[in-house]
Structure 1
Amino acid sequence: MGVTAVLVGGTFAGLLSVTGAPRTPTAHAAQPKAKTPVTAAPSQKVPSQTAPSRTAPSQPVRAQKAPASVVQIVAHPDDDLFFMNPDVSQSLRSGSPLTSVYLTAGESDGVNARPRDAAGTLADKADYAEARQNGIRAAYAEMVTGSRTSPWERVAIPTAGGATAEMDTLRAEPQVKLVWLQIREAGSTTGDRPHSLNGLWHGRIPALGSQRSSGTPVGADFTYTKDQVVATIAGLLDRFRPTFVRMQDPSPGTYPETGKLRDHQDHLYGARFTQAALARYADVPGHPHVGVQNYLGYPTSLLPHTLDPETAGAKLKTLETYAWLDGVNDCGTAAGCGDLKVAARPGGRGWTQTVRYARGTSTSWVQRDGAGGLHAFSVLDGRLAAWRQPAGGGAWRGPVLLPGGGLDSGVTSVTLPDGRIAVFGTRTVLADGPAGYRREVVTTAQAAPGGVFAAWRSLGTPERGDADGTSDISAPAVTVAGDGRATVVLRDSRHRLTAREQLADGGWGPWRVLGGTDVYGDPVAATDGTGRGYVFASTPKTVLAWAQQRPGGPLTGPVRTGLPATTLALSASAAPDGDGVRLWFRKPASGDLRSADFSGVAPVSPVTELPGAGVAGFGPVSGGDGLLAVRSRTGFLATAPHGRAGARPVWSLEGFLFSGAPDAGTDGVAAIGLDGRLHWTPAER
């Protein structure tokens, strides 16, 4: 829950010190117990909030039956396994419908061999595309059924773009489907390839052709125009009617020294075609509300690993199956049963040891209004979705979708001094002409406490243009001064922090560079009791901090906190006893939880740790107001009380998969399920 954090006394250097006394007791790994949260279905009332039911601690937690349906859209076969797992395997285990869509055939140079063996291997693009399909089918079958040879039904289906695609259905679990569009790939990570999704997006070619696999039931070659690709993806969304879409990062940035893309061009432009299709699908009447998650690709190689050894090992095993590591021909085709290029390095460049959301990690999306009611915010159908619980408790109502589309996942919110709530986020503009593609910061606020929200206001972007950095800006963090003026902070494509301050007349000053180098992820912000704002941001090696020297003054820094490396995702909230700010993060390659308290009264001391805590997992830690909420190794929400003297954290698992990050507050924990619903776990009194 978004709260105003309080720091006390001291100089700027002192305010960034870590207190010596641990505020959270050492965790003891406990068997998680299961409980059922209250859920608010889209456009429906929720049941009265009663004490959640529980199962015995020894009973395994199963996903709740809910109308969740996931569609994953990636550029190449294996992008989902490298960059979206373990989320993929968790969805498969839940039993909910899951469809993976592969935009290109992934034919590369047509050589299915380890690099050391490539010289004597004949090139055959149709066969290599077939081998990659066989590897994906084996990997998915193994994740779902335990057997990589579990059979599939392969059929041709018409597309809304006027061509034909292949759809594979797992016989043993027919809710699992794979769709192969078989569009030609670029054949180069960053090289100039006009006949590619990149060239088609920018109008360098009028249409892009196909590359059919040797075993496909699709009987004829085809071409797609730019609009036909968008129509094809939108048509698949309409066919499978997802409540949640996983996709790649449409703005991975460039290297400033060379101008080259940080990620594969097919990843980037495949994601932009997907964005355009989602925008078109949002106008289709009667479809379920859709949430979206973006995943970082190649840049994860440079960043600390996020997965614990057990989860990373399971992810690697799936990639080894895809890579046909044992060479046993059990798929029955001469093309091969997997991707031997990957067999040379099935772990990728550290990719099986990590998964990272490109945005959508805010833990400050629930706020209390001036009347005591609670408000929760997310993004569905590219619009701001708002839920409300009246003062005094009772049923949550919502979501209400506010006007204005194009919002990216990952909004954050603040309560202003007069009791109004303001929401900040980024919006993608899919424009033709000179302006082209761009991402900008936007905000909206209630006209009065508890009232309606005004129209979105654009705060622009610190980026010079999409060509310079692919519009790669983070989600914003926000501090609010005592007079209500806000400061918006974000990371730009050069991996520095930039800020824009609100003026006394309500207008906004220019974007200015705050500095810092190698900043990744989304920054987080807090405000102390005197009204001074603080911002924290991660680098691959430590955490940097900025602070206002006086209430409402400019942010200055960066100052090195002395904290160790994190997995980048941070959250900040008031410490449980009200004395200072607690910063939460995770230890790399473990899932362990860590916290550091900033109170300005003690020198730097070791961080407080919750080793493993029986839940592991990855992503942000929401630790406000006596409750702790995290994503567990299972993908389910895990909650526990914390910060109470002598108390040992006892974890409870909620039986649903969720998107983004949870928000823990005084009254309970909120999370947005993959079903598009607000799930609310009331605090136990």
Structure 2
Amino acid sequence: MPMRRLRPRPALPSRRKAAATVVAAALVGGAFVGILSLTGTPHAPSARAAEGTGAGEHVRAKALPADAHGKSGKPGRPVRGVRPPVSVVQIVAHPDDDLFFMNPDVSQSLHSGNPLTGVYLTAGESDGVNARPRDAKAAAPDKAGYAEARQNGIRAAYAEMATGSRTSPWDRSAIPTKGGGWAELDTLRARPQIRLVWLQLREAGSVNGDRPYSLHGLWNGRIGVLASQRAAGTPVPTDFAYTKEQVVATLTGILERFRPTFVRMQDPSPGTYPKTGRFRDHQDHLYGARFVQSALARYAELPGHPHVGVQNYLGYPTSVLPHTLDPETADAKLRTVKTYAWLDGVHDCGTDAGCGDLKVAARPGGRGWTQTVRYARGTSTSWVQRDRDGGLHAFSVLDGRLAAWRKPADAVAWRGPELLPGGGLDSGVTSVTLPDGRIAVFGTRTTLGDSATDYRREVVTTVQDEPGGGFGPWLSLGTPEPDDASGTSDISAPAVTVAPDGLATVVLRDSRHRLTAREQRTDGDWDPWRPLGGTDVYGDPVAATDAEGRGYVFASTPKTVLAWAAQSPGEPLAGPAATGLPPTTLALSASAAPDGEGVRLWFRKPASGDLRSADFSGTGPVSPVTELPGTGVAGYGPVSGGDGLVAVRSRTGFLATAPHGRSGSRPVWTLEKFLFSGAPDAGTDGVAAIGLDARLHWTPAGR
């Protein structure tokens, strides 16, 4: 269709130049000019990295947090010379869920030297047969023995990751829980900051089967108590059973005991298959995560604990998605699983139950799980904004509340975090600057309620009362989902476009893997959710507005990227249109091209970690996709590129930053020595990331 050429104009008030014209030929007559892959050799990790965090700048600026222990939600004066502690707690349903779905993040934490506590909700006893499938018929069921074998495998895997020796010894003890039962606590003798906690509840024993005696049945009220399944060698002295309330109390007590600054957990809303209604993930994963959500909500109300961030991990659905890990990282992950699976059969654990999980030995890679790690939430790269005075504002979620930091234009240090009223926020928020200078923040919120049927996720937003002012109350924009039961409330994080008149359009992926949108009206109210179409959409959509004020949205499928666009400023989004892009690892981000012409869409090549960007020139046909060399840093997760800087998660898990410019330039990478959650946000002024210490880390541009 004939369309005029796009003519860039000054961006709306924002940290980045408005931009996502990458879309497409089919919508606005534009075109891709090809694929740019950054190349270069990473520098050695900076010795000064991650020294200062939180409310202050990190590293080079030497500004440190106002609140060194994270006990107050109010800003305070900057502090120098304090490095806040990091404590990670990860909670999974079964022994091996962490190895399959959270690694290599787990090994990176172990190598950091910071405390890490792994918590297993169920014993993972299954049918009690610890044998490869071909040998299963000849083996006698022994649920206590199989539970012990899986514990042995986990202990070996963690010991090997942490010390290099799978036989490095553990000290095992029994501890009382706040739920009135017992748990086993294992401490790695060589690295006592590494601990494993076994709650030893019965598992469902089926991904989707009707198993009322399970976490699922307990959550939904089909049973009043769920009994324990003690492992054969456990020091726990007696059997016990928990009510729903007692499970929540037990998990809350675990959080109180280990005082995390960061929690890893599974996905509480993985969705269902529309044709069958069956869960896309294991029911223990889903309902175990909901128990963790309940405990985190309760823990957030307790005084005196450090602020805590949360990361959710996708489970079984990763099987159908492009792999995210480069071969070296995937091989290391597979080796750890093989240790857990007792693949070599060497009996070095000292128990009769067996030294690992022989069921996994038949397929140690799972269904492609060792080649992937994927975050279910928290992939936005648009959570820092610049105000009209040149000050910066950053946003994250801590303690289930919106955490806000501010750096005035004439200041070196950041101030905050200030925790805004209103709880239940899910990890990952996105922000936009409106034409009048106010900042709006969008995210999703989970309401737990008093019964299982009260569980609900919805889109929410808060807007500054005036430019530079405070934020108003949260406004619920609801959800396109009819109820929780039909799709487990499986909605993505929202993406937002803003028209020149200030009216916003909010877009998200629903549980049927389509995009849906809700548009703001001139009277300030919102139209109902309407479907935008698309099929097989995964992950979070991303949005931007071009120089002429037209909104664009991009979303990934396992095979390509789809695009939606407004035909002119202020018009509704239309699409989807094919972009012609190859498969990506799903996580996308869009920013203005470094030369100021058009837009650059950032993404990664599957199974490599290579960075790529697609430029849009505004005229001509779609160019063929060009394969180019890798970046030298590999890694996984979203790429944040904007206004001369690019930031990524490296293979080590550290933040990697580099300047970037025109096509063909080779970036010089700098690794910052701290682990972070979610995605970084790179812009004109620098790169922001939220560390596992729940603090804002800031790398100024040009330092």
- Class of the TM-score when normalised by the shorter of the 2 chains: over 0.9
Q: Does the aligned pair in 2 maintain the 1:370–1:418 contact within 8 Å?
A: no
Report the AA paired with residue 213 of structure 2: H
Indicate which of 213, 218, 223 corresponds to 1:195. 213
What secondary structure, in the 3-state scheme, does the structure 2 residue paired with 1:276 have?
helix
Worse overlay, 586-595 or 31-40: 31-40
Indicate which of 627, 633, 643 corresponds to 1:625. 643
What secondary structure, in the 3-state scheme, does the structure 2 residue paired with 1:272 have?
helix
CA change 1:7–1:90 in 2 (3 A) is closer
Q: Aligned equivalents of 2:110 and 2:45: distance in 1? A: 22
Q: Deviations over 1:554-578 (max 9, x none)?
A: 1100000000000000000111111
What secondary structure, in the 3-state scheme, does the structure 2 residue paired with 1:623 have?
strand
CA change 1:26–1:142 in 2 (3 A) is closer
Q: Aligned equivalents of 2:209 and 2:510: distance in 1? A: 24
Indicate which of 241, 255, 268 corresponds to 1:237. 255
Q: Aligned equivalents of 1:419 and 1:505: distance in 2? A: 19
Counterpart position of 1:56: none
What secondary structure, in the 3-state scheme, does the structure 1 residue paired with 2:61 have?
coil
Indicate which of 267, 275, 278 corresponds to 1:260. 278
Q: Aligned equivalents of 2:550 and 2:151: distance in 1? A: 55
Q: Does the aligned pair in 2 maintain the 1:105–1:213 contact within 8 Å?
A: yes
How far 1:433 sits from its partner (Å)? Answer: 4.5
How far 1:648 sits from its partner (Å)? Answer: 2.2
Q: Is 1:364 aligned to 2:382, yes or no?
A: yes
What secondary structure, in the 3-state scheme, does the structure 2 residue paired with 1:80 have?
helix
Q: Does the aligned pair in 2 maintain the 1:6–1:579 contact within 8 Å?
A: no
Q: TM-score, normalising length from structure 1?
A: 0.95
How far 1:67 sits from its partner (Å)? Answer: 0.7
CA change 1:608–1:452 in 2 (3 A) is farther
Q: Is 1:679 aligned to 2:697, yes or no?
A: yes
CA change 1:271–1:10 in 2 (3 A) is closer
How far 1:5 sits from its partner (Å)? Answer: 2.4
Report the AA paired with residue 230 of structure 2: R
Counterpart position of 1:511: 529
How far 1:39 sits from its partner (Å)? Answer: 6.4
Q: Does the aligned pair in 1 maintain the 2:37–2:612 contact within 8 Å?
A: no
CA change 1:195–1:646 in 2 (3 A) is closer
Q: Aligned equivalents of 2:318 and 2:377: distance in 1? A: 13
Q: Is 1:50 aligned to 2:50, yes or no?
A: no
How far 1:289 sits from its partner (Å)? Answer: 0.2
Q: Is 1:567 aligned to 2:579, yes or no?
A: no
Counterpart position of 2:129: 111
Q: Does the aligned pair in 2 maintain the 1:16–1:598 contact within 8 Å?
A: no
Counterpart position of 1:405: 423
Q: Does the aligned pair in 2 maintain the 1:7–1:579 contact within 8 Å?
A: no
Q: Aligned equivalents of 1:47 and 1:183: distance in 2? A: 42
Q: Taking every aligned residue pair, what percent have the same amino acid on both sides?
A: 77
CA change 1:39–1:409 in 2 (3 A) is farther
Counterpart position of 2:18: 5
CA change 1:501–1:317 in 2 (3 A) is same
Q: Does the aligned pair in 1 maintain the 2:22–2:601 contact within 8 Å?
A: no
Q: Aligned equivalents of 1:644 and 1:434: distance in 2? A: 53
Worse overlay, 152-161 or 10-19: 10-19
Counterpart position of 1:548: 566
User: Gapped runs of 5+ residues in structure 1?
Assistant: 53-63
Q: Deviations over 1:327-352 (max 9, x none)?
A: 11000111000000000000000000
Report the AA paired with residue 611 of structure 1: P
How far 1:6 sits from its partner (Å)? Answer: 3.6
Report the AA paired with residue 428 of structure 1: T
Report the AA paired with residue 186 of structure 1: A
Q: Aligned equivalents of 2:558 and 2:22: distance in 1? A: 30
How far 1:434 sits from its partner (Å)? Answer: 8.0
Q: Aligned equivalents of 1:275 and 1:164: distance in 2? A: 21
Aligned-residue RMSD, C-alpha: 2.0
What secondary structure, in the 3-state scheme, does the structure 1 residue paired with 2:151 have?
helix
Q: How does 1:235-314 map onto structure 2 within 5 Å? A: 235-314=253-332
Q: How does 1:84-483 map onto structure 2 within 5 Å? A: 84-433=102-451, 436-483=454-501
Q: Does the aligned pair in 2 maintain the 1:35–1:653 contact within 8 Å?
A: no
Q: Is 1:20 aligned to 2:33, yes or no?
A: yes
Q: Does the aligned pair in 2 maintain the 1:5–1:573 contact within 8 Å?
A: yes
CA change 1:16–1:624 in 2 (3 A) is farther
Q: Does the aligned pair in 1 maintain the 2:324–2:371 contact within 8 Å?
A: yes
Counterpart position of 2:41: 29
What secondary structure, in the 3-state scheme, does the structure 2 residue paired with 1:20 have?
strand
Worse overlay, 575-584 or 160-169: 575-584
Q: Aligned equivalents of 1:553 and 1:300: distance in 2? A: 36
Q: Deviations over 1:333-376 (max 9, x none)?
A: 11000000000000000000000000100000000012211000
CA change 1:33–1:207 in 2 (3 A) is closer
Worse overlay, 425-434 or 479-488: 425-434
How far 1:3 sits from its partner (Å)? Answer: 2.7
Q: Aligned equivalents of 2:56 and 2:682: distance in 1? A: 22
Q: Aligned equivalents of 2:346 and 2:21: distance in 1? A: 65
Q: Deviations over 1:525-559 (max 9, x none)?
A: 01012211000000000000000012111110000
Q: Aligned equivalents of 2:34 and 2:236: distance in 1? A: 66
